[in-house]
Structure 1
Amino acid sequence: MQRITITLDDALAEELDAHMKATGAAGRSEVIRDLVRRGLATVPDAPGEAQCFGIISCAIDQSVRGLAARVPQGRLDRHDQTVAALSVPLDHTTSIDVTVMTGRAADVTTYAEALFAERGVMHGALGLVPVARDSEPHVHGHGSEQAHTHYKVRTSL
């Protein structure tokens, strides 16, 4: 077994202690191991090449130095993958941000995990929706046949 050291803010440490008492865990190490195991079990392990839409959501402390500029820049750097972005202000410094991206599961997951690792980003969640692309030419209403992309939702990645 390895020994590691982590730093938690006071509020998170209090939540951890409350969870420890509620679950009957013998100590912080036990409860942290359990939470890490459960957290890792929720990490998408989709094939990297699988096409998907990713819904990335998190709370952002906009007062953390440079974060308010880095988050939108990260989306701009991936403008070909970013479908939509929404930022909902909660108070003077905190927002809930939701980004919808498309592309390879590996690329969407890598972006989300890098975002969640940023200091000031909290409650990160990633949902992957597997899709297949269809680009057959066809007619909508009246007019001539034209090719455009349709996405078909699949049951798995």
Structure 2
Amino acid sequence: MSELVRFSVSLEADLLESFDQFCEQGRFATRSEAIRQLLREKLTTTAWAADAADVAASLTLVYDHHKTRLTDKMLDIQHAHGERVVATMHVHLDHDLCMEVIALRGPALDLQRLAADLSGLKGIHHAQLVVVRATDETANGHAHPHPHDHPHPH
């Protein structure tokens, strides 16, 4: 982990009040923890826009499993992108609705296209893609995993 650096930020009182409510609702231990998470999320979004080499994502879909051929189409798309689909979890929500959570990994734009292909199917009620960096490129100046011939302090 890199060295901790302190800095100050000036905010309007109402913005700080809203941020403190955000921190409380998110159960962050400190404002610093909340700011770190927000910065990581924004940096991930920036990396997404730059088509970061490797990101991980979860795609959550809620859909009507009675919709004709929808599950077949969903499976066809996932199989066509088998190198990007890491795992899936299927949950029965009620008589009509199911939730599919799909773990993905690969280039950001590939995952975005895959998510768009799935979320655009008729019968999908909700789709949400959450993207995170798949590697910590700031750790000791280089990404992991890789073969090690040199020790790291972690």
Residue of structure 2 in register with 1:32 after alignment: none
Alignment of 1:12-23 (within 5 A): none
Q: Which has the higher contact order (CA 8 A, sep 6+)?
A: 2
Tell me the C-alpha RMSD between the 2 structures: 1.9
Which of 133, 137, 143 lines up with 2:147 in the alignment?
Answer: 137
Of stretches 126-135 and 99-108 in structure 1, the one that deviates more from structure 2 is 126-135
Residue of structure 2 in register with 1:122 after alignment: 125
Taking structure 2 as the reference length, what is the TM-score of the superposition?
A: 0.56
> Stretches of 4+ moved more than 3 A in 1?
none
SS state of the match for residue 59, structure 2?
strand
Tell me the CA shift for residue 87 of structure 1: 0.8
Letter in 2 for 1:107: D
SS state of the match for residue 101, structure 2?
strand
Residue of structure 2 in register with 1:110 after alignment: 113
Alignment of 1:68-79 (within 5 A): 68-79=71-82
Whole-Å Cα distance in 1 between the matches of residues 87 and 116 of structure 2? 18
Q: Deviations over 1:40-94 (max 9, x none)?
A: xxxx552224310011001011111110111122111111111110110122332
Matched residues, number: 96
Residue of structure 1 in register with 2:103 after alignment: 100
Contact 1:54 1:128 in 2 (8 A): yes
Unaligned 5+ segments in structure 1 are 1-43, 139-144, 146-157
Taking structure 1 as the reference length, what is the TM-score of the superposition?
A: 0.55
SS state of the match for residue 134, structure 1?
coil
Q: Deviations over 1:103-133 (max 9, x none)?
A: 0000001111121111100111001111235
Taking only the aligned residue pairs, the percentage that are identical comes to 23
Residue of structure 2 in register with 1:90 after alignment: 93
Letter in 1 for 2:84: Q
